[in-house]
Structure 1
Amino acid sequence: MNRDHLYLRLAVDLAILTVRDGVLNVLAIERAKPPFQDQAALPGGFLREGEDLVQAAWRELREETALDGETLHLEQLGIFGAPDRDPRGRVVSVAYLALAPNLPVPTAGSDASAAQWRPVADVTGCLAFDHDEILAVALERARSRLEFTTLATAFCDKEFTMGDLREVYQVVWGEPVDPRNFSRKVLNTEGFVEPSGGRRAQDTGRPAALYRRGPAARLNPPILRHGTDRSSLPTP
């Protein structure tokens, strides 16, 4: 009986998000080689023998952008395996989401001719392979995680103001957040943030109180976006 021979390769791709100058940015490379030469893509590459997935993600990030992935919040996003996602053959990708504040300007290397932070709005619809789909899933994961977890603090420095934290929500969600309601919800959520005891001078008004991330991992109650279907929320 004849059987088709399936040669499958495993890859990793990274959707790395940060807030720069009040805009949500994603790390993008410009591919130096075919396929999709000169087109923007997410950093990533093939798994090597003896390498686990996270190690491969760290290595590819280091080789393509010179950034240290071991310092990032990194979580597995999903598996992408459409048969035609890579014109070179059958390639299944394990995608990761990473979030961090104030990351340095990347340096291109490996099979990337350029690497840079780019506003998400500028690259959406323009990425190689199925990276637009990966980025869309990454964005929704990040937005949802801000509703139910304390992940927003991963976008902030070690010390931050309530305004800094609120800006993260506004930028990632893409919608305004009422300052007073937001502050009340954050401060009434045990373990979300803790006062650091410091203050930061502002252009106008009194110096703003500084906070640091607290020990909590989940938000109870959640901080929800406008339009979130509350009927789908888990019962307390």
Structure 2
Amino acid sequence: MITPASVQVVPQAVLEDQQAIQIEDAVKNVSGVSPGFSFGGMSQSFMVRGFETGFASFRDGFRFPLATKFSLANIARVEVLKGATANLYGRIEPGGMVNLVTKRPQTERYYALNQQFGSYGQFQTLADATGAINKSGTLLYRLNFEYLNQNSFRDFGFTDRIFVAPSVTWKIAPSTQFDVDFTYKDLETREDFGIVALGNRPAKLPRSRFLDEPADKTHENIYNTAATLTHAFNDDWRARARFS
């Protein structure tokens, strides 16, 4: 069946090849999509076909209840649905939507540890573990972890983030499963609203110049639990209900 919509997918292989750290790194691969207003770097927003998505974030096809900046530690792929077809997912700007698909628990055991170093003192540790909890394979788990510490090309800019995302899948029947996902993020950073404009042009200042109070810091704690029940009627039709 051909999907009657314009959909572009950034798969996990591309995210790994790019060593992407944030969603903005992923959407660079998608035409017609660019970062939007992020409230000083604290939230996630995109311009899709000229329309700003605002802080309407979607995870696994459901609207995420909090305006925050996501980690890629537990993201399997990034989907961009362009055009008014995105209104199938609720009240959305006609440009489209960005949907984050999370990594799911797997039957086969898998463990991974990744350490990354980069410019401006970047230090990132990623851990990923999944497998079956019981012998029958009806209970599965996955645990994703990230620690990120980095400075910025902007004066006084920094990010210190801890992200933990455990999830459990219960296969009730061959066509029915129940998922519980928990995410925790502890973020300390300094909001940065950029350079002021004089007239119709940015002020002639060094790109590293920070104009807010250097002593101001922002500390964000995010907790979210989502429970999802999925039932497949056949290969083409399924129903999903989520409480978050």
- Fold shared by both chains (TM-score > 0.5): no
TM-score (normalizing by structure 2): 0.24
TM-score (normalizing by structure 1): 0.24
Counting helix residues as a fraction of each chain, which structure ranks higher? 1
Counting strand residues as a fraction of each chain, which structure ranks higher? 2
